[in-house]
Amino acid sequence: MKNNLYPEFQNIFNKEAEKIYFSPGRVNLIGEHIDYNGGLVMPCAITFGTYVAVAPNNDNIFRFRSLNFDDKSDTPLQKDYKKIGETWFNYPLGIIDYFLNDGHQLQGLDMLYYGDIPISSGLSSSASIEVVTAFMLNDLFNSGYTKLQLVQLCKQVENIFIGVNCGIMDQFAVAFGEKDKALMLNCDTLEYQAVNTNLGNYVLAIINTNKPRKLAESKYNERVQECQTALKALQQELNIQHLCDIDNKTFQQHQHVITDPIALKRAKHVIEENDRVKLAAKALAAGDLAITSSETILPS
């Protein structure tokens, strides 16, 4: 698709694109609802992702176009921006807003986006478009951010500009993903280990169920709040900052302080899931894909 973007860009803007950037999507192998609880996740980048073709203009206008959506915008350069409805270009607009508020001088850009990630499929299309935009601006305007800083600013845009209380897993996996490896990431310290995905005769199948999934429209923020409720209860007896600061044994000893049954259920999942990621990483690194179910059962 990369080569096809050049003629498409020419047709839309009547000039040539100067550069094309790409950022992958991601799939999380294990570690669900862990990233915003300071725990371990194990995502990997995928070959599907987001492309953006770009060329500067002298009009001080950010022109957003997409081959996936009909929505488009010609947005004048100004000192800051606000989210506009639920349209796709809020994600790159939020990144631009961050750069401007962080003191960087930008100029108008003509931008053509294309993604081959199935829309709303849970493969982090939003993180992909955020990261590809951040890398593009960082490169074009020599902004000097490190890769980790770009990841962190993309998360901040998702949290504040878009309004989704996500953790850092999606942006980190998209930016740091390696070929044929998964990343075991500590979402608190941001330390990570690349784990060889030695699948042998197995394959990893990503199946599109065509069930739309949009974090901003889901119960994601509600789950975050439920986990916070459990954390606050545990903090009555424990000096912890995140649910994943404790293991399952400690949780069993102190779970009585969580009086909300839904919050208790959420905390139980998070803490046990954190232990499952450790087991999965060991099995995957060893090529032990036939691990028995008894080896993965955690103490009750």
Which residue numbers are catalytic? 170
The C-alpha atoms of residue 125 and residue 147 are separated, in whole angstroms, by: 19
- Cβ atoms of residues 113 and 77 within 8 Å: no
300, exposed or middle or buried, with CB in 10 Å at 0-12, 13-18, 19+? exposed
CA distance 73 to 176: 30
Longest CA span, the chain: 67
